[in-house]
Amino acid sequence: MPLIRTGILLAAMTALFLAVGALLGGQGGLVTAFIIAMAMNFFAYWNSDKMVLRMHGAREVSEVEAPEYVRIVRDLAARAGLPMPRTFIMDNPQPNAFATGRNPENAAVAATTGLLQSLTREEITGVMAHELAHVKNRDTLTMTVTATLAGAIGMLANFALFFGRGRNNAGLLGTLAVMFLAPMAAGLVQMAISRTREYEADRMGAEICGRPLWLASALAKLDRGTIQIDNPTAEHNPATAHLFIANPLHGGRVDNLFSTHPNMANRIARLEEMAGASSDYVEPAPTHRPGPWG
Residues involved in catalysis = 131
* C-alpha torsion sign, points 268, 269, 270, 272: positive
Burial tier of 54 (Cβ tally within 10 Å: 0-12, 13-18, 19+):
exposed
Rounded (10°) angle between helices 121-136 and 67-80: 40
Do residues 141 and 103 touch, judged by C-beta distance below 8 A?
A: yes
Provide the pairing of β-strand 108-112 with 86-90.
Answer: parallel
| 3-class SS string, 29-69 | HHHHHHHHHHHHHHHHHHHHHHHHHHHCCEEECCCCCCHHH
Angle (nearest 5°) at CA 171 between 167 and 176: 110
Distance CA 40, CA 80 (A): 31
Q: What DSSP designation does 266 have?
A: H
Q: Using an 8 Å Cβ cutoff, are 199 and 267 in contact?
A: yes
* Residues forming beta bridges with residue 111, ordered by sequence position: 89, 97
